[in-house]
Amino acid sequence: MEIAGKSALVLGGASGLGAATARRLHSEGAAVVIADLNAEKGEALAGELGERASFVEANVTDAEQVQAAVDAAAGGDGGLRISVCCAGIGWAQRTVSKQGPHDLEVFSNVVGVNLIGTFNALRLAATAMAGNEPDAEGERGVCVNTASIAAFDGQIGQVAYAASKGGIVGLTLPAARDLAGRGVRVVTIAPGLFDTPLLAALPQEQREALGAGIPFPSRLGRPEEYASLVGEIVGNPMLNGETIRLDGALRMPPK
């Protein structure tokens, strides 16, 4: 699918991987709706991009708010064609620690945002896409989800995060099969260690040490590299039902 002239929705689009994706899609000619909880950053990015960019405040776990974001993106010519979900949270806690068992509410919240929020965005975006006119390939849209290599290599303390991201990996193929007859593709990206706001709070020395542990390139991933892969996924109709690791050959140790 060509990006130019299409309408795109980026959830979690105000910073990090999402912001880089919004910039990439916009630079290639898409009209981009940025959806995020952070209105200040989201509006600033939409203002920076200018024409063909807008912001909608939305929590991915809220069906009405995500529907409003989908409606905003679907209102453009040709309907919503590209949806990218980058929204997510992280939390570190062992299954059993000195303080006792893992907090059940924390586990539920992480799964709620990362897994259920991603599915909420997927189901609503795909519903809008299903009503589009198909292109020459019979395609009506593409949904890109964001997992993590923690889905495969979850570390000590990542039980909630790994479970939530593993769920995204697990739904990718059946969702792609569900939507195949409607001409909507589903692909998941599983990033490794990327230079995002999540790692920005760490001391520079620690950030460099994390990057040095990646086989090649031995550095943190750049959000623009994630965005580049989104562009490749949109443009290649044979990419469907797949989870792509984007990690520089990194396999995470237990801790």
How many DSSP H helices and E strands does the chain contain? Answer: 10, 9
Q: Which of the residues are catalytic?
A: 161
Instruction: Kindly report the number of other CB atoms within 10 A of residue 62's CB atom.
Output: 14
Three-state SS sequence of 197-232: HHHHCCCHHHHHHHHHCCCCCCCCECHHHHHHHHHH
Distance CA 24, CA 86 (A): 14
Q: Could you tell me the sign of the dihedral formed by the alpha carbons of 64, 70, 72, 75, in that order? A: negative
